[in-house]
Structure 1
Amino acid sequence: MTTTTTDAVADPADLAGMFSAYGRELLRYCTRRVGEQVAEDVVAETFLVAYEQRFRYDPGRGGVLPWLYGIATNLLRRHRRTEVRALRALADPATGPDAADERVDAQRTVRRLAGVLAALPRRQRDVLLLFAVAELDYAEIAAALDIPVGTVRSALHRARAKVRAALAPEGETP
């Protein structure tokens, strides 16, 4: 499901309305980034920051949801070290699942993918996750991260290429 840039709730001063309209989507995105407990805190903080900075919202640049995703992504950056550590731990077979589980191809793929995500530059990781997890389109990602659409396209292309290369069967080039 891709959201549009026009929101039914376009008033950042309506904190309860924003939360009921967008809280679940933001929680889903944040949970996939940093886990359930941290995600709840980040979402709560996102709405607090949005309310405190409601005067900065510009409806001409896009809808409320991409603006909220931008705030959430900025807050997630604070948790970047935790996110990268968790991805690296998942990618490390010594700290990952036990030996029996390591034989499962899906778990190897997850570890490889986690390693690639951890190694991606911040912007590429943010763009890829906003596209793949939050299901935002290019314009919404650009609005959320306050970057040009061309930069979104370029970052997404590079991130996808790195993921494809990492997931290609050994000995094959993507």
Structure 2
Amino acid sequence: MDPEGNLLIADGFTALYDRHARALYRYCARRVGPDLAEDAVAQTFLIAFERRHVIEHGTADPLPWLYGIATNVLLRHRRDEVRGYRALARTGADPLLVPLAADSHEARTDDRVVARQRARLIARVLAKLPARQRDVLLLFAIAELSYAEIAAALDLPTGTVQSALHRARTKLRKALEDLER
């Protein structure tokens, strides 16, 4: 920041992109898959550039603001996200992740079966969550934002963020407990 607090003037918008694009991409890719994530991040930074006066006039940390824009961009992709979670719940194959190489098939078979069951269950729960609860939970879990940062990103009171996260976690916890029985 320059002495007057103008992050974009001092570092340039390119520096903002360089600092935060990867984190936004990870968040968006987890929500809508890698192909749509690139578009979502591009749209996020286009909107951010058009609204750069918000940062130039006092936003101390632009990352929650960028997550908020990305979350709004993803609203348009919500159907694809829910469809992906439903596919994962049905098949156990996560269409949003690139397959990872395994160490040893025999050694990891049991772990994979349990992980696939849990992944399907989690996807089913995520698909059924109301949009606000899903947004809050994923910003907390994937983007690792604090309550205050999530509140800033989604333009919600902190108490609303806390209650939405609590409700989402409760639903997820109950589903996992039912699986263990």
TM-score (norm 2): 0.80
Aligned pairs (5 A) from 1:1-174: 10-11=7-8, 14-57=12-55, 63-93=61-91, 96-97=92-93, 104-170=113-179
Deviation at 1:33, TM superposition (A): 1.0
CA RMSD of aligned residues (A): 2.5
TM-score (norm 1): 0.83
Letter of the structure 1 residue corresponding to residue 115 of structure 2: A
Once the two structures are aligned, what percentage of the paired residues are identical? 57
The unaligned stretches of length 5 or more in structure 2 are 94-108
- Larger Cα-atom Rg: 2
Q: Residues 45-99 of structure 1, C-alpha deviation per residue, up to 9 Å, x if partnerless?
A: 1000000122344865652000000000000111000000110011014xx45xx
Count how many residue pairs are aligned between Structure 1 and Structure 2: 160
Segment of structure 1 superposing worse, 31-40 or 112-121: 31-40
- Structure 2: how far apart are the matches of 1:157 and 1:118? 17
Are residues 46 and 136 of structure 1, via their aligned partners in 2, closer, same or farther at CA, if it must alter by over 3 Å?
same
Bigger fraction of residues in helix: 2
- Structure 1: how far apart are the matches of 2:77 and 2:45? 17
Are residues 75 and 112 of structure 1, via their aligned partners in 2, closer, same or farther at CA, if it must alter by over 3 Å?
same
The unaligned stretches of length 5 or more in structure 1 are 1-7
- Structure 2: how far apart are the matches of 1:59 and 1:105? 50
Question: Where has structure 1 moved over 3 Å in runs of 4 or more?
Answer: 56-62, 169-172
Are residues 62 and 117 of structure 1, via their aligned partners in 2, closer, same or farther at CA, if it must alter by over 3 Å?
farther
